[in-house]
């Protein structure tokens, strides 16, 4: 009998080990993570990997022993007696209590050590600090004054530099998330939150590793924040080095002399595109499409009809709650565009002495979107 037990244990243990490797492989391929593109992401993935191993081992331990017992110890032809009665096994019970306890404590320690490393602000002085403004439903990134104070709707980053994001929401709770970077942080109104990471791959390298050279990594919002939550996206451009990064930022800060081109830039920069499509696709959702909007007759919620001319469009952007188009809800559109535009126009005036009217640019752009 003793020999028999040793044999059963050996077989079950070998099967458990084999199953652990098999399960690990299955889980890793079934729930493959996106490309890993930050230094911090590598550490997070290592911990994630540790979880996969533990999950595979525990699953195998339970399932293999159970299935093995069902097949090896089922009643054989001609067996009539009672099965062996067992009551308690101190060594076994202590083991299955203490081992998981140690395992859970170890993972708890690992997780909190890694979290405190990610929150460490002692190297902030050598980092590039970018202000992130989140609002329904767009992102704006403001670069430091010594980098020209450029504001963009694309997140430009240099590879291999520590980045600190200083984030604040203008309205509800949003959440900054780039799947390839692994780290994620909620953004709150009236309170700053921070996120630190070091990109380890350029956008092109990420796309190539993704298996599609035209793939575009994006900032996503990971907190349900309303109608256009799913469209709250911003492209991420990780450049090879500081020089390429400086050049990209400089180009992003340039203003076209063509009002239509500027209008298209503002349309993207201020996130109009999250709610107002250029092709009618979002119509009936967050906001009316801009396709054919200029000169269109709009019926308002009070039944009156207006023509979408310059004055109507300007007041709709500045005071979005005053004239609501039938079928749409008030309080959807940010109502601080007037202040934002005046500030931006003043900045442009100070920097390059150019008089720009953002609303006129937008209207010029709208005029090109004919049906
Ligand atoms: Cu912002 Cu979801």
- Expressed in angstroms and rounded, the spacing between residue 154 Cα and the centre of ligand 1 is 16
Distance 169 CA to ligand 1 centre (A): 10
- Residue 18: half-sphere exposure toward Cβ, Cα within 13 Å: 8
Query: Tell me, what's the pLDDT at 35?
Result: 94
Q: Is 223 near ligand 1, meaning CB less than 6 Å away?
A: yes
- Give the pLDDT of residue 75: 84
Given this model, what pLDDT does residue 2 score?
58
CB-based contacts of 77, cutoff 8 Å, min separation 6: none
What is the reported pTM? 0.76
Of the chain, the end-to-end C-alpha distance in Å amounts to 86
257 CA distance to ligand 1 middle (Å) = 33
Residue nearest to atom 1 of ligand 1 (CA): 174
The pLDDT of residue 265: 87
Quote the pLDDT of residue 47.
95
**Does the beta carbon of 220 sit less than 6 angstroms from any atom of ligand 1?**
no
Report mean pLDDT in 10-residue bins for the chain, 371 residues: 80 96 95 94 95 95 94 85 84 93 96 95 93 92 87 92 95 96 95 96 94 93 92 93 90 83 87 85 76 88 89 90 86 87 86 84 90 76
CA distance 15 to 57: 11
Residues 6+ apart with CB under 8 A from 42: 36, 200
Phi (first) and psi of residue 35, to 5 degrees? -55, 140
Which ligand 1 atom sits closest to the C-alpha of 226?
Answer: 2
Q: In 3D, which of 36, 161, 50 has the Cα closest to residue 113? A: 50
User: Which residue has tokens 């699953």?
Assistant: 59
Is the Cβ atom of 44 under 6 angstroms away from ligand 1?
no
User: 183: which 2 tokens?
Assistant: 């780290």
The rounded Å distance from CA 217 to ligand 1 centre is 17
- Yes or no: say if 51 and 107 are a contact pair by the CB < 8 Å rule: yes
| d(CA 173, ligand 1 centre) in Å | 7
Q: Which atom of ligand 1 is nearest to the CA of 172?
A: 1
CA of 171 to the centre of ligand 1 (A): 10
At 190 the pLDDT is: 93
**Nearest atom, ligand 1, residue 223 CA:** 2
- Classify each residue of 23-49 as buried b or exposed e, where b means 16 or more C-beta atoms within 10 Å of its C-beta: bbeebeeeeeeebbbbebbebbeeeee
What is the pLDDT at residue 284? 63
């Amino acid at each position: 009998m003793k020999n028999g037990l040793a044999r059963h244990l050996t077989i079950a243990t070998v099967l458990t080990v084999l199953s652990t490797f098999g399960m690990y492989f299955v889980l890793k391929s079934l729930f493959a993570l996106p490309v890993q593109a930050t230094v911090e992401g590598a550490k997070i993935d290592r911990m994630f990997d540790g979880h996969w191993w533990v999950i595979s081992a525990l699953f195998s331990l339970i399932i293999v022993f159970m299935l093995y017992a069902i097949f090896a110890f089922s009643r054989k032809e001609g067996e009539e007696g009672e099965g062996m009665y067992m009551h308690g096994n101190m060594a076994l019970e202590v083991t299955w209590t203490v081992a998981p306890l140690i395992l859970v404590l170890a993972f708890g320690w690992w997780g909190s050590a890694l979290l405190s490393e990610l929150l460490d602000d002692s190297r902030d002085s050598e980092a590039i600090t970018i202000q992130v403004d989140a609002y329904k439903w767009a992102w704006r990134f403001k670069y430091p004054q010594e980098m020209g104070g450029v504001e963009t709707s694309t997140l430009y980053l240099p590879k291999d530099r520590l980045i600190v994001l200083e984030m604040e929401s203008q309205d509800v709770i949003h959440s900054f998330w780039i799947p390839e970077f692994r780290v994620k942080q909620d953004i709150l109104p009236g309170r700053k939150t921070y996120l630190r990471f070091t990109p380890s791959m350029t956008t092109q390298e990420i796309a190539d590793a993704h298996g599609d050279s035209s793939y575009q990594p994006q900032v996503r919002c990971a907190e349900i924040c309303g109608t256009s939550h799913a469209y709250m996206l911003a492209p991420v451009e990780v450049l090879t080095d500081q020089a390429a990064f400086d050049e990209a930022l400089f180009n992003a800060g340039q203003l076209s002399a063509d009002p239509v081109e500027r209008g298209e830039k503002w349309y993207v920069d201020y996130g109009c595109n999250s709610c107002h499509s250029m092709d009618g696709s979002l119509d009936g959702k967050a906001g009316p499409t801009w396709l054919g909007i200029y000169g269109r007759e709009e019926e308002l919620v009070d039944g009156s009809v207006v023509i979408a001319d310059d004055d109507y469009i300007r007041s709709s952007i500045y005071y979005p709650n005053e004239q609501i188009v039938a079928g749409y809800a008030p309080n959807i559109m940010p109502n601080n565009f007037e202040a934002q535009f005046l500030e931006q126009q003043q900045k442009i005036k100070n920097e390059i002495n150019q008089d720009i009217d953002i609303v006129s640019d937008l209207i010029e752009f709208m005029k090109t979107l004919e049906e």
